Amino acid sequence: MPRLRLPGRRPRGDRGAVAALVAVLLTGNALLGMAALTVDVGAMYAEREELQSGADSAAVAVAKVCVGNNNACNPIQAAAIAGTYAVDNASDGFADATVCGRVMTAGLGSTNRLSPCAPGKDNLARCIDGPTSPPVSPAPYVEVRTTTRRSATSTALPPVFVGAVTGTDGVTVAACSRVSWGPITQTTIEPSMAISKCQFDAMTANGTRYQPRPTSVHNADPTSEFTMRWRPVSGSGCATFGFFNTRTASSCRRSVTAGNSYGGRTDPAIPTNCAVDLENFHHDRRPVAVAIFDSASSTQFHVAGIAMFVITGWYRSPLWPDGGLDHDHLPELGNATPCTGPNIFCVYGYFTTQLFRTGTGTGNVAGTLGSNHFGTAYVRTIG
């Protein structure tokens, strides 16, 4: 006799199927939620990496401008540079960037050429409020802050899944990079030249104007090209340039450290192998590391720092012992006054810059942040 089934009741087997279905649905929802969270968080991390790359490269680029040309270091120029790097590092081509910091007017020390930095927002990478605070005044620093930009009116990165469910408009992702710079205080110079600080000041407007590094051609302002006359160490007044005594008879190199004094030539002769170096650097249009001296005794130059110099020509009178150096290379930019006369040696050229990313390298030693860099500096990330 068949069993009666009461209304509203299901066989135990049916109840098990329903329970299994509910479990599957709950598990599916959980997996869907995890997938949504993973996609959203992954997108935000990717966005932040792009913003951080933009901030890092922009901060170094702005620092390079501020090192090379104090007059071009201003909020408008800095913002344009930072915006370009921020956009170039964004895969979707959208990003915003702001620049702030402290770069004092050269020679005055009282006017900040950049906008001062305001406190950062809560979601900004903590280069503002972290353990690496800005350097003590008047040491310079540049800070670039980058943020998301999805369109002309939105700065939020919309979550792919969660935003659709919750109705939120997303989150603004941000990054920040702060850099400072200082001089290279020790290196090997070749050829073994020392240029007086008063000559350097005249050629660079007291360290505020440097020329672009040459490529296959000179890109410098012609008015930056000067004539420098050789004088022995014992020469009076503002001796324009001289040669160090090289360490060995077969080398035109000299390792120097700012703050120390080194023996210089007192006789009218080019040190061994320096003629070859002058020829090569001039031919290749390669900037040369030179020492800047701020005083000289009867036999020594006192080194104040390191600079980068571009040789555009020279004049050597027939009476000057030269080791094979050609007699005359007229100044290539046409601004320097050509030298003439007996027993004279002149070099023509201009100063450029070199920026080292960490301040170290073969034979290079970094000095104190904010010290006088003579255009040859290292840049260091400090936040």
Show pLDDT as tens, one digit a residue, over the chain (383 residues). 444 343 444 444 555 554 544 444 444 444 444 444 444 456 667 777 888 889 999 999 998 888 888 778 889 999 999 999 988 888 878 888 899 998 887 655 578 888 888 765 544 545 654 445 777 877 889 999 988 775 555 444 455 554 444 444 456 778 889 988 888 888 889 888 999 999 999 999 888 889 999 988 899 999 999 999 988 887 656 778 988 887 666 678 888 999 999 998 888 778 777 888 888 899 999 999 999 999 888 888 999 999 999 999 999 887 777 667 777 889 999 899 999 888 788 999 999 998 877 655 556 776 677 677 898 888 888 87
Q: Burial letters for 177-209: b for 16+ Cβ neighbours within 10 Å, e otherwise?
A: bbbbbbbbbbbbbbbbbbbbbebbeebbeebbb
Give the list of residues 6+ apart from residue 162 with CB closer than 8 angstroms, or none. 36, 37, 40, 168
Q: Burial letters for 246-277: b for 16+ Cβ neighbours within 10 Å, e otherwise?
A: beeeebbbbebebeeebebbeeeebbebbbeb
Task: Tell me the CA distances in angstroms from 156 to 33, 90, 107, 266, one per residue in order.
Answer: 21, 14, 43, 68
Q: What is the pTM of this model?
A: 0.76
Are 347 and 225 contacting, i.e. CB atoms less than 8 angstroms apart?
A: no
Residue 223's nearest CA partner among 333, 346, 72 is 333
Sign of the dihedral through C-alpha 65, 68, 71, 72: negative
What CA–CA distance (Å, rounded) separates 68 from 52?
24
Scanning the structure block, which residue is given the tokens 């001062």?
116
Residue 362 three-state SS = coil
Q: What is residue 289's DSSP assignment?
A: E
Task: Tell me the CA distances in angstroms from 86 to 102, 140, 148, one per residue in order.
Answer: 21, 22, 10
> Where in the chain are the domains?
19-172, 184-381
Sign of the dihedral through C-alpha 100, 105, 106, 107: negative
Residue 82's nearest CA partner among 199, 152, 178 is 178
What CA–CA distance (Å, rounded) separates 112 from 70?
11
Task: Tell me the CA distances in angstroms from 268 to 197, 246, 316, 318, 328, one per residue in order.
Answer: 21, 15, 11, 12, 17
